Every structure is written in C-alpha cells, then in structure tokens.
Amino acid sequence: MTDWLLCSHTLPTILKRALTIVRPKPGKPDYLVPKVYRIISLLPTLSKTIEHVALARMTAFALNCLLRLQFACLKGYSPLDAMHLILEKVYKASNDKLYSSALFLDVQGAFDKVLHQRLAEIMTKNDFLPYLVDWVQLYLLDKSVRIMDGTASEPSFTPIQVGIPQGSPLSLFLFNIYSSPLCYNHQRLGVDFMVSYVNDYCLLAISVSW
C-alpha cells in the first residue's frame, strides 16, 4: 500500500490533519504571551508509517546535497559530535597561535517558514527521483490543524499554506534539505568553518588577530 501511495503521488486528506494540544511551559511569569505555550501535534499513526518509508527512500539521495557538517539527520551524528568538532577547530587554531571567533545563530520558527516550491526546486536540483519530489509536494499540500487546550477546541480544521510539520519523521530531513544551500555558501560570508544542527548554526572564523 505504501509503495502505491508514493508512486501514485497519493495521500488521503484525513492523514494530513493534526490535532494540536496547547500546554503552558512551567515557570513563566506571564501566560498572556503566546510564546510561553508549547504546541504538541498529534499525527495519525498510519501517516507516520508512510513517512518513515518515504524517508528511507529519500535518504539514499541525501548526500547529493547534505554536507557532513549538517548533523541533524545523518546516522551516527549528534549535537555532541558537532560541539566536539567546533572545539577541535578552536584548540588547533590556538595551538597554531591563531584566534577563533564564533557566531552562533538560532533560526526562530524555522519549520514554519519553509517554502514548498523552493524545497521542490532544491530536491530536483539534487537529483531526487521525480516521484519523491511530487509526493513531498502532495504531502505538504492541504495540511490542516485543529488546536485544543484540553477543555475546548476549534470548531474546524485550519488550513496550513506554508511550512513543514514539526515533529513528523520527515521534519528534520526536509528542513536540512531546504537549508543545505546555506551550508555550501558559507565561505562567501568570510568564515572558515560552519556547522549546523537543524536550525542552529555556528560560523567560525580563524585569523591571526581579533
């Protein structure tokens, strides 16, 4: 069934609906601010199963565009590995009497800002099979969400026109594909080294002085 859904560019609309639970983060001073609430999306189990199969097929094409310095979805790579790599570069520069300057960036709301057409262009450019590109576009099309707080809920599902679902099996992979051009162009920014973990980036410049 999963093979047919992928090859025929099909995914039932009911599998694209998410029930979203709103939970307050503990210890916050003001609960009138939306950012103090955590959003938890409940996705259909069958949808997650199909996504895992799609992910397994797309992973074979990952190295066409992902760098080894993108640590989010490559097997055997963890945030701790990324930190060790950064420290190794800094210690080596120090031993060579050089100075290291680091800029750490966190892209807020990164998953919500993914443009679907741009994602398709990047996948096509990096030789993903056409049926996988088309299926991802279908997967992202016509998604909807209904927000609940435990006592009440929205009367209907609200369409989502942009972004990728955070927390799904495909989320990290698709965002890494989408952001991969940034990692290829880091030398244009005047930095010697760049490491990323999902939406967190480290830009490292090494020089003879500050």
> pLDDT for 1-36, tens place per residue?
778 788 787 888 888 888 888 888 888 888 888 888
- pLDDT confidence of residue 43: 81
pLDDT digits (tens, 9 = 90+) for 71-89: 877 777 788 888 898 999 9
Could you tell me if 47 and 167 are in contact, meaning their C-beta atoms sit under 8 angstroms apart? no
pLDDT band, very low/low/confident/very high, at 93 (cuts 50, 70, 90):
very high
- pLDDT confidence of residue 187: 65
Task: Round the average pLDDT of the chain to a whole number and report it.
Answer: 86
Q: How many Å is the Cα radius of gyration of the chain?
A: 20
**Letter for the amino acid at 32?**
L
pLDDT greater at residue 190 or residue 180: 180
Average pLDDT rounded to a whole number, residues 159-183: 86
Average pLDDT rounded to a whole number, residues 85-108: 92
DSSP symbol at 157: P
| 3-state helix/strand/coil string of 37-66 | EEEEEECCHHHHHHHHHHHHHHHCCHHHCC
- pLDDT confidence of residue 186: 67
Residue 95 above 70 pLDDT?
yes
- pLDDT confidence of residue 33: 85
Average pLDDT rounded to a whole number, residues 169-196: 82
What CA–CA distance (Å, rounded) separates 63 from 183?
Answer: 13
pLDDT digits (tens, 9 = 90+) for 117-165: 999 999 999 999 999 999 999 999 888 888 887 677 778 888 888 888 8
- pLDDT confidence of residue 183: 78
Average pLDDT rounded to a whole number, residues 96-125: 91
DSSP bridge pairs for 92: none
100: tokens are 């290291």
Give percent above pLDDT 90 in the chain.
25
